[in-house]
Amino acid sequence: MDMWEPYVSLVRAMLPEADTKITFDRFHIVSHMNDAVDLVRRRENRALRAEGDERLVGTKPMWLYAAENMPDRYATDFASLRRGTLKTARAWAIKEMLRELWDQPTRADGERWYKRWHSWATHSRLEPVKKVAAMIRRHLDGVLAYFTHRITNSASEALNSTIQMIKKRAFGFRNFANFRAAILFRCGGLQLHP
């Protein structure tokens, strides 16, 4: 689940022993890091442009990709930007290292790995990155609960995305029954072939 405090409070109120069951999702954590990388990029771009340096202009999409998903059209430019001394490149590298947390085989390995990552993030001198590191530290038990439960909410996120797409394509529904029917038709797994 997301680390937004109202969600956490609701789950704690409704679920017995919630603190042992809450697992903060990789998607949301990495999303916070992507936001931090983009904030570092925007600040650095503003400072560089004031000096006449246009290196970071138009590079936002590059920094939001994971290393393995980087499109070929960005590969050359991105490689040269990463080799430099840009703060944005450092923030991106910290984000990429964070993604490796969920690849650790055990909780103990995850904790050791997290401590190294947290040290790097908090000593990075990048305030947005330090802020995300502090947020993760506050919610560390829920982050590391992944190693106990090995679950994510990616299926529910995908379902929510599909529902939002249905809503957007319809430009609204006259009533809830029609909206519900559209959701069930699209997401219900119906086999309509004769």
pLDDT in tens, 21-65: 888 888 889 999 999 999 999 999 999 999 999 999 999 999 999
Identify the pLDDT of residue 167.
Answer: 83
Which distant-in-sequence residues (6+ apart) come within 8 Å of 56 by Cβ? 41, 44, 45, 48, 49, 81, 86, 88
pLDDT at residue 131 in the model:
97
Same domain membership, residue 114 and residue 167:
no
Q: Are residues 67 and 118 in the same domain?
A: yes
181 part of a folded domain? yes
In this structure, the answer to whether residues 109 and 183 fall within a common structural domain is no
How many CB atoms sit inside 10 A of residue 103's CB? 9
* Domain shared by 29 and 104, yes or no: yes
As a whole number, mean pLDDT of residues 174-180 equals: 82
Asked if the structure places residue 194 within a domain, the reply is no
Quick one: which H or E segment has residue 26?
Answer: helix 26-50
| Position 192 in a domain | no
Same domain flag for 183 and 140? no
Q: Which pLDDT score is estimated for 187?
A: 83
Q: Do residues 121 and 36 touch, judged by C-beta distance below 8 A?
A: no
Of 162 and 49, the structure prediction assigns the larger pLDDT to 49
Q: Is 121 exposed, middle or buried (0-12, 13-18, 19+ CB in 10 A)?
A: buried
Residue 191: pLDDT above 90? no
Q: Which domain range does residue 104 map to?
A: 5-149
Domain count across the chain: 2
Together in a domain, 13 and 53: yes
Residue 183 sits in the same domain as residue 114:
no
Residue 193, domain member (yes or no): no
Residues 129 and 79 in one domain: yes
The pLDDT score that the predictor gives to residue 186 is 82
- How far apart are alpha carbons 113 and 20 in whole angstroms? 21
| Global pTM value | 0.79
Cβ-based neighbour number of residue 10 at 10 Å: 13
What pLDDT sits at residue 17? 87
Average pLDDT over residues 66-93: 92
- C-alpha–C-alpha distance, residues 125 and 43, integer Å: 13
Same domain, 171 and 132: no
Taking the C-alpha atoms of residue 108 and residue 111, their distance in angstroms, rounded to an integer, is 5
